[in-house]
A and B are shown apart, each in its own frame.
Chain A
Amino acid sequence: MTDTWKPDTTAIVGIGATDFSRESGRSALTLAAEATLAALADAGLEPSHVDGIVRCDMDEVPPVALGDAIGVANLEYWGDVGPGGSAPCAMIIQAMAAITAGLATTVVAFRSINGRSGQRYGAGYARDVRVGGRSAFEDYFLPFGMQTPGQYFATVAQRHMIEYGTDEQTLGRIALACRRHANANPAAQMHGRTMTMDDYELSRMLTTPLRLFDFCLETDGACAVVVTSIERARDLRQTPALIHSAAQAGGHDAQPGQMFPALLREDITTWSSTDVATILYRRGGVRPADVDVAQIYDCFTITTLIQIEDYGFCAKGEAKDFIGDGTLQVGGALPINTSGGHLSEGYVHGMNHVVESVRQVRGTSTNQVADAELSLVTSAPTTGGSALLLVAG
């Protein structure tokens, strides 16, 4: 298949984030406004320049409400891109599509979530609730005790262990790399809180084989970015992060619903991220070995392990051989999640990964990878994924 993808025609020109906490004390709308105003200030733009807003469709904040909250008078485009973790890169892609189609010139993409003090994912379901129907087929899963993302990803991890002999230490090395990076990032929730492999192995087992430190941090916070054309980007304050390649894919054998039905795919340890990767590398004209630094969606350690394989950094099933001590840390073969990621910075549903990917291209990360040119960021639970490759403009 061929397409008419043109690299480096749009760019991320502003990034913004709130603090990451367990109790923000602000509404999701306030957090979204705060992150968006920070992103606009970073770019050297005003709300009056914004004419498009894109969001994840699980966000509480409607695009028009955010526009009104920050004084966007001329909103001409908005969009919803789909669920949770698969959304962030797809949001940038939709912003880019709107810009290249002439529907908007300057688009904000945001994610705002009170993920700890507000609605907690996977917190279980209310008593006496009836589940199922609605084309999501929850009735085949929830009544049987398969009820949370942690339990779902643990079942995937167990299957990966059965098929490939994957061990817990490999999962631990992913957690340790993220923690090491968070220790050097003052904005991270785990800043200053060190962790050893012993700490990892002694952490509480929540749902085998996943322990407490295999889980991301439920977080209150928001992140936002500003996307515009390369022509406009040249006039702004920051070095633009050019969108060199972009891809979304649902993959074959996707199954309905958002998560649990993916346990019925023929292969539960290879995800739609393989399809995303194929498209992404083809459009970018690059190979996995060209990637200098990667922000890989990490709601759980196993999520990152599977994507390291799916994005071709090693063959399927070989993550345990590829990921040695230090492999995933700055200075290693594949530095990942350099802000600390979901596991140790905070869980803003993949949007903090986009922000950190821009920092790497700018050279402003607190864990800067030397000479980082090609920066990968992925958004990927199991049933659909998206990704970007960014380069400095």
Chain B
Amino acid sequence: MKNENRVLPVTTDPDTAPFWAAAREERLVIKYCEECDRPIHLPRAYCPVCRRRSDVWRDASGSGRVYSWTIVEHQVHPGYPTPYTSVLVELADHRSVRLLGSLPGRVPLVGGEPVQVWFEHLENVTIPQWRLVEAGGA
């Protein structure tokens, strides 16, 4: 798939590069504090709770639920044709961790819908995306 018009992430930033490197391998990873065993999300060098410096990343299951959303009707960027539904996803295995996703079209949501990660491979970068899963499935 081409990168045409899409907003792409920097993948060389010292704080976030491991997230994007793992995505390239179709793994969703979250940074953790080794000392107090809690996510450091967004990823930063120090645990804001115990101040321990950490370089530990762990795989997340890739299951989540819709925490909030907006259906974007007014287009502001050529790479993101409207309507699309921007979802704020809460990870199933780490409820304090949220990630963004974009679903095409107007998705009727009420909140709490289960979603599953998938990986969109673009040139030189892979974007973790989310799709709705049927209740009881996936």
Contacts and interface: CB of A to CB of B under 8 A. Distances in A.
B76 interface: yes
Interface residues of B, number: 42
Interface string A126-145: 01111111110101111111
Contacts of A137: 15-16, 42
Contacts of A204: 73-74
Contacts, number: 123
A153 B54 CA distance: 32
A151 B86 contact: yes
Given A155-B86, A159-B67, A139 B100 contact: no
Contacts of B11: 132
B71 A207 contact: yes
A153 B52 CA distance: 33
A320 B67 CA distance: 21
Interface string A370-385: 0000000000000000
Nearest to A132: B10
B127 A123 contact: no
B73 A146 contact: no
A255 interface: yes
Interface residues on A, range: 35 or more
A139 B86 CA distance: 15
B61 interface: no
B72 interface: yes
A162 B69 CA distance: 10
Contacts of B3: 128
Contacts of A125: 7, 77
A132 B13 contact: yes
B136 interface: no
A115 B78 CA distance: 22
Given A132-B13, A206-B74, A263-B88, A159 B127 contact: no
A102 interface: no
A140 B99 contact: yes
Given A124-B76, A207-B74, A255-B42, A143 B86 contact: no
A208 to B, nearest CB: 4
A268 interface: yes
Contacts of B9: 130-132, 139-140, 142-143
Given A133-B15, A139-B16, A266-B96, A206 B102 contact: no
B102 A162 contact: no
A129 B7 contact: yes
A162 B68 contact: yes
B79 interface: yes
B84 interface: yes
A309 to B, nearest CB: 17
Given A140-B42, A144-B100, A145-B84, A127 B68 contact: no
Nearest to B125: A143
Contacts of B69: 155, 158
A117 interface: no
Given A135-B15, A143-B9, A205 B73 contact: yes
B77 A151 contact: no
Contacts of A264: 41-42, 97-98
Interface of A: 122-125, 127-135, 137, 139-148, 150-151, 154-156, 158-159, 162, 204-210, 255-256, 261, 263-264, 266, 268
The 3 closest A-B pairs by CB, nearest first: A133-B13, A139-B9, A154-B70
Given A146-B100, A261-B42, 20 more contacts: A124-B76, A124-B77, A127-B79, A130-B8, A131-B7, A133-B10, A133-B12, A141-B100, A144-B129, A147-B77, A156-B68, A158-B70, A159-B67, A162-B68, A207-B71, A207-B73, A208-B73, A264-B97, A266-B96, A268-B68
30 contacts: A124-B76, A125-B77, A129-B7, A129-B8, A132-B16, A133-B16, A137-B15, A139-B9, A139-B13, A140-B16, A142-B9, A143-B6, A145-B77, A146-B102, A147-B80, A151-B72, A151-B86, A154-B70, A155-B69, A156-B68, A158-B68, A158-B70, A159-B88, A162-B111, A204-B73, A205-B73, A207-B71, A209-B70, A256-B42, A264-B97
